[in-house]
Structure 1
Amino acid sequence: MKVIKFISILTLGIGLVSASPVRPRQAPLGKWDIVGDSQVAAMHIVLASHKDIYIIDKVEGNKIKQANGSPAMSAVYDIETNLVTPLDLTTDTFCSGGSFFANGTLFNSGGAENGLGYNPGYTSARFITPTDANPAWMEIPDGMITSRWYPAMATLPNGNVLVMGGSLKGTGKNNDAINNPTYEIWSAGGAPQPQPVHFPFLVDTMPYNLYPFVHVMPNFENKQLLFVFANTQGIIFDIETNTVVSKTPVIPDGVRSYPLTGNSILLPLKPSLNYKPTIMICGGNTAMEITSPAIASCGRIDPTDPNAQWEMDNFGGTGRVMPDAVLLPDATVLYVNGAGTGFAGYHRGPRGNPLYLNDNPTLTPFIYDPETKEWNTNLAPSVVPRLYHSVATLVSDGRVFITGSNPQPNVELGSKFPTEFRVEMFTPPYLQTGLARPVINSVAGFTTLNDQRIQVTYQQTVEVKITKGQTNSFITAAIIHHGFVTHSQSFSRKYVLLKVISAQEDPNDNNNITLNLEMPPNPTILPPGPSYLYVLDNGVPATFSVSLILGFPTT
């Protein structure tokens, strides 16, 4: 008994020492730099090439003009020069969706009402191909039979694009009169106006069913299976047979979709786990109340498991509504942006005395390790509040591009939470180790990299030559599709760890290594289209990634 008492006191003493305020605290990791001005408020972004980010907003008085003199709604941001070039549009892109076809063309659908010389965008279909000599939007104003505001989109394993849900016009939360519980499927170069298909799940999940979460599920049976989630519910849906395969349990703690906006990601897929899918949904809120605290929990689940159950944790100890998540090259997840209270939407009241629907910005990023299920919360905070209509994406050099925040209906400057045009780059801790970074020298025989998308196919073994970063190297590689980012989502985003079949040192220079990397086994693991190859040495990414286009073998 005495021994037990002695040990308990000793343990308590150690606990007190470890929490002592006199112990030096590790300096926060990561670094923020304000690098530019987006010129167009960034409601939607997509990494279009290794250096270009397409920005899409809505009809409002942005800083730069398009060719006809109207305020620009879209632009190209060059992350190497921080220069911005406007792109012309004629229909309002407010709260639209986007995804890539297999051929590399970006498809943007839906929008909102007319204004400032622009036409309505509710039924619009828009297309742009980043690899064109002079990329420009091509629009079909009546391309869709039905109006869509807040639709979800996803690239399917066959290379077509799904457009799902939304409402017939703008709203704070959905209602029966304007709900659009349908989906449609577009093919590249196909005829416009595909017929919508009724989707009862978007009736069952009213009223919190806008921008439903959609993820393509990996399988080895060539099935086009989707995990679809809205409100508190999720299903596995077979898009080919138009049937619900299974349902997941209700997620605890509250609502996770707009306007009680949480975030949903498909965690990195690994060949060692046979590409087992794990969905992670974080944040949200319990009520449309301005002072309501954001949900401080995350749920993990394999929705394909016949006995699927939510595994919950505390979101690193901080609640967030409207968080953005970024899959980093080292297979961890960065969470940024969002608010500690409230819900998605514009401020109420006059500009001079606004009442914000969301407040208490969460300025400190967190990094989650899916392998250990641990949170790194000791990261440097940003100085820029990023609330409603904020965005973030990984870029080629391993940093994270972050911009946006516009919690008001029009451009407002000088207010508590103004329309935010500042662009930040966040440098993750893996770029602060002091370790040398590897360099990719060639991919599939190409030594001139990122002047084109290098064509690769499923199961192909691709030769990649690198200069390693460290003497005792541990090389990993991944292929990442960054998706179309808007409203705390990234449509079609996927991270797939690649099999390193072999790694051979150059006998004349052991710093140079020839890798043989096996591409994903089938298009359910990673749908066809543009992606980026990342190579890491001991968790430190190469100086740049390489633009690929994953497709089917030609016959």
Structure 2
Amino acid sequence: MSSSLSALRRLRTALILFVTSTSLFTSTARADPTPVPPPGQPSRTGPANTFQVIGTSGVSAQQLFLGTANKVYVVDKTEDNPLRIKSHPAWGSEITLNPTYSVRAMDIYSNTFCAGGSSLGDGRWINVGGNEGVSWGGVAPGVQGNNPAAYGGAPYDDYDGGAAIRLLMPRDDGTCNWDDNPKNYMSSRRWYPTVEPLEDGSVVIIGGDNIGGYLNSADQNNPTLEYWPSKGNGTPVYLPILDETLPANLFPLTWLLPSGNLFIQVNWETEVYDYKNNVEHRLANIPAAVRTYPASGASVLLPLTPANNYTATVLFCGGSNVAAGQWTSSNWIVPTYPASTSCVKINPDDKKPVWVNDAVLPEARTMGNFILLPDGRILLVNGAKLGTAGYGNDSWAIGHSYADSPILTPLIYDPHPGIPTSRRLSRAGLGSSKIPRMYHSTAILLTDGSVMIAGSNPNPDYTVGNGVQYPTEYRVELFYPWYFNYTRPNPSGLIDQIGYGGNYFDVQLSADDLKINDGGNGPLYSLNGTKAILIRTGFSTHGLNMGQRYLELQTSYTLNSDGSGILHVAQFPPLPTLFPPGPAVLYIVVNGVPSVGVLVTVGNGQIGTQTVNTVTPLPGNVVPVPTTSTGTLTTIGPKSTGRWWWWWWDC
């Protein structure tokens, strides 16, 4: 692993320089940011820890992402949604959240069935791959085997989406549309591909199959990766792990690591992949269960923070303990098979990564969705106790569903240090939904800190009516976490673009802001508990949020004598691999209670090499102290925070 070791040594050195320089030196330098207005309070509220139906999605929400603070975009497969556009059913929609909830139909030409997606460094979103053109019921007209139907014909008139690249630049004025142009298409077909952002604002597109079905197979498999925009000569790169993990190797679980390598988990196998040199470094198999589709365990990159030295830890929960031969056994009754209760985690950038058992789920779960919350905890929603993802016409299917026994009550996972493993998962005080969220369900964080939950459609086409146990679902819910019981901080001085290195910026917090959830401990306690958090909410589909990421910025503070304060916020560490460029949401979190987030651009707003600047050291913490002679307040500082973070590596 010499290439990986070199990358890790560079990472270690850069992080030592960053965290020590921002903690130990003082400076009077100031950023010259473009400020945005204070974010105010949430426009929509509900009782904390409850679900609320707020509208419909127009098309079934197989794929979901937050495009602007006020716009959510929905993508479905080709099917007979009631929402129409240009005399055919719509397969895409735009949800406007405020001031009035509304839905606009969007036209997509090619079949987006089981596509992947992500944000790009220039602010656009990319939707990748899909399936052949189909007619009613998802049937390709007159085409069998490996020859995809280029055109579905009536009633949908859709095109083959297997190699499609669809692009969207979100806008708040309701005028944006999908660019579904064959000139942008890939060189190979990909159904169920994974899309992960890279440090230059491009994306890597991994795996998938040709046409396929419930499972992948050797004659359908696409064991390669490619990039968009293309790199080199554009030829897909062979990835052996995808040839060795059939049949459950679709939507390979992938994250860009701080080292610059990719962590890939697929079926039982795991590796760190040096994509720049095309070198695989195999790790031990994942314990207890398969997590990739169709076993579909929940997975998430845990928060990257100064306290953990921005160490990447990946968590997996649920899935299914299915042996290779069992997937294709004619005796296997899928929706009666219990999912897994196992949770495991790993630090892939360690010298010798090892799997560690974590908390145990209170019930088995497949198709769960992990959502990073601004307070650093993680919401687990959606899914079922029995079966797997997928649907079909089998006699044993529940209608068409390959899963049964939906889970309606969420869980909270707390990764904070000091929490015993046995207490990391909790549902204390959490309400339940009334809507089963099975196959093709989605969830994303919104800027107000609520979680939008949509979709569920384990059916080949639009299926509703009496007696349909798991119908095509259009209702959209919000889940309101615990902090909806509190008035939110309303900081000023937030900015709309954050780079790698450079000057810090100052965020002002009022005395009232610093009283939020302080337990009577006062403003100094609150400033010590205030954080600046960046979250990329990701592209949600099939229990994944591709590109989802959480990073805490370095901060120091000045406490004013009137009880107000200034949070000095460093920009990103000078390592784009920690948080790739593109759109994200910035929250100021006081004692666990987040402000309404503001949408920011991470990086230079372009696809390509990112600007990396010298870090301007943060000032030390400044606090007023009473004098003994007059009782007036005198400020002492700047003062070192006294905090050290060590990045240790035994080479």
Q: Distance in 2 between the 1:57 and 1:297 partners?
A: 31
- Once the two structures are superposed, residues 397-440 of structure 1 have per-residue CA deviations (whole angstroms, 9 ceiling, x without a partner) of 011000100011111112111111000000111223xx432013
Unaligned 5+ residue runs, structure 2?
1-46, 135-155, 328-333, 516-521, 605-609, 614-651
Query: Do structure 1's residue 107 and structure 2's residue 134 form an aligned pair?
Result: no
2:179 matched residue in structure 1: 138
1:304 matched residue in structure 2: 349
Contact 2:120-2:582 at 8 Å conserved across structures? yes
DSSP-derived class of the 1:272 partner: helix
Matched AA of 1:412: T
2:472 matched residue in structure 1: 419
Matched AA of 2:414: D
Q: Which residue of the other structure, out of 508, 516, 533, is the alignment partner of 1:465? A: 508
Give the deviation of 1:331 after TM superposition.
0.8
1:342 matched residue in structure 2: 387
Q: Distance in 1 between the 2:106 and 2:400 partners?
A: 34
DSSP-derived class of the 1:163 partner: strand
2:219 matched residue in structure 1: 177
Matches within 5 A, 1:442-457: 442-444=493-495, 454-457=496-499
Matches within 5 A, 1:248-259: 248-259=283-294
Aligned residues with identical type, % of pairs = 35
Q: Distance in 1 between the 2:438 and 2:611 partners?
A: 44
Q: Which residue of the other structure, out of 61, 74, 81, is the alignment partner of 1:62? A: 81
Higher strand share: 1
**Alignment CA distance shift 1:353-1:481 (3 Å):** closer
Give the deviation of 1:547 after TM superposition.
3.0
Matched AA of 1:547: V
Matched AA of 1:405: S
Matched AA of 1:118: D
1:7 matched residue in structure 2: none
- Where relative contact order (Cα < 8 A, 6+ residues apart) is larger, the structure is 2
Q: Which residue of the other structure, out of 385, 393, 396, is the alignment partner of 2:444? A: 393
Count of residues in Structure 1 that have an aligned counterpart in Structure 2: 507
Give the deviation of 1:353 after TM superposition.
7.9
**Alignment CA distance shift 1:135-1:267 (3 Å):** same
Give the deviation of 1:317 after TM superposition.
1.8
Q: TM-score scaled by structure 2?
A: 0.74
Contact 2:452-2:478 at 8 Å conserved across structures? yes
Matched AA of 1:443: L
Query: Do structure 1's residue 377 and structure 2's residue 427 form an aligned pair?
Result: yes
Q: Which residue of the other structure, out of 573, 576, 586, is the alignment partner of 1:523? A: 576
Q: Which residue of the other structure, out of 482, 486, 493, is the alignment partner of 2:548? A: 493
Give the deviation of 1:101 after TM superposition.
1.8
Q: Which residue of the other structure, out of 302, 309, 326, is the alignment partner of 1:267? A: 302
1:87 matched residue in structure 2: 106
1:216 matched residue in structure 2: 256
Query: Do structure 1's residue 118 and structure 2's residue 197 form an aligned pair?
Result: no
Q: TM-score scaled by structure 1?
A: 0.87
Q: Which residue of the other structure, out of 85, 88, 94, is the alignment partner of 1:76? A: 94
**Alignment CA distance shift 1:243-1:62 (3 Å):** same
1:483 matched residue in structure 2: 538
1:40 matched residue in structure 2: 59
Give the deviation of 1:248 after TM superposition.
2.2
DSSP-derived class of the 1:424 partner: strand
**Alignment CA distance shift 1:409-1:549 (3 Å):** same
Contact 1:535-1:545 at 8 Å conserved across structures? no
Matches within 5 A, 1:151-162: 151-162=193-204
Matches within 5 A, 1:229-244: 229-244=265-280
Q: Which residue of the other structure, out of 178, 181, 199, is the alignment partner of 2:239? A: 199
Q: Distance in 2 between the 1:108 and 1:428 partners?
A: 30
Matches within 5 A, 1:270-309: 270-287=305-322, 288=327, 289-309=334-354
Q: Distance in 1 between the 2:375 and 2:572 partners?
A: 18
Give the deviation of 1:515 after TM superposition.
3.5
Matched AA of 1:497: E
Contact 2:48-2:483 at 8 Å conserved across structures? no
- Once the two structures are superposed, residues 9-32 of structure 1 have per-residue CA deviations (whole angstroms, 9 ceiling, x without a partner) of xxxxxxxxxxxxxxxxxxx97111
Q: Distance in 1 between the 2:265 and 2:369 partners?
A: 17
Q: Distance in 1 between the 2:406 and 2:162 partners?
A: 31
Query: Do structure 1's residue 51 and structure 2's residue 106 form an aligned pair?
Result: no
**Alignment CA distance shift 1:351-1:420 (3 Å):** farther
**Alignment CA distance shift 1:521-1:131 (3 Å):** farther
DSSP-derived class of the 1:398 partner: coil
Contact 1:213-1:229 at 8 Å conserved across structures? yes
DSSP-derived class of the 1:441 partner: coil
- Once the two structures are superposed, residues 340-382 of structure 1 have per-residue CA deviations (whole angstroms, 9 ceiling, x without a partner) of 0001112535999825310000111000001224111222111
- Once the two structures are superposed, residues 50-86 of structure 1 have per-residue CA deviations (whole angstroms, 9 ceiling, x without a partner) of 11111000111112112x1211111111122321111
